[in-house]
Amino acid sequence: MITLTSTCDDCGSIESVEVDTTKFAAYKAGGTAKMHFPDGDWTPAHREIIMNNVPRPVQFYLCPMCWLYMEEGDHGPHNPDDGEWASDGPAGDSALRD
């Protein structure tokens, strides 16, 4: 097992998740986070931490509380229209609710 940590870009909270070393290596080799860490065993919040531990075009991490804040508020720490949004983040389906 390996412990992955990420620091929230908004509030500075440090979140961590334990993943199987082999599984993490397989994810780094290719494929989506959801493919290697599917719903049921993993939550979108877990995947956010995992995804932030591999190089990606936009290195950005928000803790679950900040995601919640952003989903509920009209304005958050981040503007989804500015092109820096993580397309597969947990807030991705928020437009389908309400």
| 65 touches 77 (CB < 8 A) | no
- Cβ closest to Zn ion, residue 27 vs residue 61: 61
Residues facing 6 on adjacent strands: 15
Q: What's the rounded Cα separation, in Å, for the pair 92 and 84?
A: 13
The minimum distance between CB 95 and Zn ion, in angstroms, equals 22
Question: CA-CA distance, 70 to 79, in Å (whole number)?
Answer: 9
Quote the least distance from Cβ 23 to Zn ion, whole Å: 26
Please identify which residue in 10, 33, 70, 78 interacts with Zn ion, judged by CB under 5 A: 10
Q: Is residue 15 a contact point for Zn ion (CB under 5 A)?
A: no
Among 8, 19, 33, 51, binds Zn ion (CB under 5 A): 8
Among 4, 1, 26, which Cα is nearest to 14's? 4
* Contacts with Zn ion, residue ranges (CB under 5 A): 8, 10-11, 13, 63, 66
